[in-house]
Amino acid sequence: MSRLNILRDTPPVGPAFAAFHPVQTEDSRPTRLIDAFGRRLTYLRVSVTDRCNLRCTYCLPEDADFPFGDRDFLSPQEIETIVGALVRLGIRRVRLTGGEPLVRKDLLEIVRRVKALPGLENLALSTNGTELARMAPALKAAGVDRVNVSVDSLDPQRFREITRRGDLEEVWRGVEAALAAGLDPVKLNAVLLQANQEDVERLAALTLGQPLHVRFIEMMPTAVNEHLQPGAFVSADDARARLEKRFGPLIPTEVGPRTGPAKAFRFRDAVGTVGFITPLSHTFCADCNRVRLTSRGELRLCLFADRVHPLRPLLAAPDPDAALESEILRVVQEKPEEHHLTQGNYGNLVSFMQIGG
């Protein structure tokens, strides 16, 4: 029986989690990156390319054309210098994303350079998983700690329809390779759509018996997915209610300040966790600890901000490190207090592939 057939069966019940207690979170790590609203910025998402080998309906148009070539994207050395300045100032966790990071041939060099930055505590990768079966051991060896794989459906046909060209078997081999390579945690990201409602329970059921962590993400409106709006939107509250009806109460895994946008829970006796990322129904702007670096070297302080701050030109300054640090310290004060997505304002964002989700 193939792996996917196993996934289709009734989920196994996980080992007893007898002494499970929620973890107390705290974010007291020193950082000089404190914005005008007192938010401590310790998390950076780096888009290493705009290109992607899939065309997910909510993310890219079917005939997506990528205007920029490899030379337009930051080189591994440029990424090291810019991320290095951010880490010196207080960034502690970095996620490499895209586009699809694994389409970059020099990704392992980027990983090695970023991982070597003193002060960095954790290096994560977001991927669609298409190249993960082949790359997982090398990514782990180069320094990736954790991985998020986008899996919007566990049905091969639906998976292909949502991604427009993805092969679920191939991606699932990637998930297994990530677990085998010791990447920890391995999270599965699923955007909540009308099209994948049948998958919500099956995805969550994976967490009962396996060390997999499923994150359901509310679909954020962008210019690319206007054709899906508003009919495709499913709230995390709806998904959660369905899951609790089927599997019982979801128990919070953390108490204390949020350390990221996801609220994480666990079913009783489950091995993995289920989380919800709710940019629309429950905004998390007040706890936002993140900034983004685009593939062409601009700092984006809010996913939905109207403007970005070019950092690449500073690499030509007589003292690039000092120039970067002073510019970053200056512009973080411009981080907007909140986004206005719920009022239908998504700034100048066309698609997440521009800035890495």
Residues that bind ligand SAM (CB under 6 A): 52, 58-59, 97-98, 100, 126-128, 150, 189, 191, 217, 219-220, 222, 225, 352-353, 356-357
| Non-local CB neighbours of 221 within 8 Å, separated by 6+ positions | 229, 341, 344, 346
Is 188 exposed, middle or buried, given 0-12, 13-18 or 19+ CB atoms closer than 10 A?
buried
User: Distance between CA 277 and CA 215 in Å, rounded?
Assistant: 7
CA 266 to centroid of chain Cα atoms:
20
Q: Please, which residue, 40 or 292, has the CB nearer to ligand SAM?
A: 292
CB atoms within 10 A of CB 115: 15
Residue nearest to ligand SAM (CB): 357
Least Cβ distance, residue 185 to ligand SAM (angstroms): 15
CB-based burial, 126-156: b 16+ in 10 Å, e otherwise: bbbbbbbbebbeebbebbbbbbbbbbbbbbe
202 within 8 A of 7, measured Cβ to Cβ: yes
Q: How far is the CB of 221 from ligand SAM (least distance, A)?
A: 7
Chain centre distance of CA 103: 17
DSSP element (H, E) containing 108: helix 107-115
* Least CB distance to ligand SAM at residue 318 (A): 35
To ligand SAM, the closest distance from the beta carbon of 356 in angstroms equals 5
CB neighbourhood size of 245 (10 A): 9
Of 45 and 309, which CB lies nearer to ligand SAM in the complex structure?
45
- Report the nearest approach of ligand SAM to the CB of residue 98 (Å): 5
Nearer to ligand SAM, 293 or 314 (CB): 293
Choice between 128 and 207, CB closer to ligand SAM: 128
Between residues 82 and 277, which has the closer beta carbon with respect to ligand SAM? Answer: 277
Structure tokens at 56: 């997910």
- Non-local CB neighbours of 226 within 8 Å, separated by 6+ positions: none
Q: Which is nearer to ligand SAM, 126 or 289 (CB)?
A: 126
Q: Output 26 or 65, the one with its CB closest to ligand SAM.
A: 65
The least distance separating ligand SAM from the CB of residue 1, rounded to whole angstroms, comes to: 27
The distance of closest approach from Cβ of residue 60 to ligand SAM in the complex, given in angstroms and rounded to an integer, is 8
Distance, CA of 128 to CA of 94 (rounded, Å)? 18
Q: How many Å apart are CA 331 and CA 163, to the nearest integer?
A: 36
Cβ nearer to ligand SAM, comparing 139 with 328 = 139
Structure tokens at 166: 């993805």
- How is residue 281 written in tokens? 């129904």
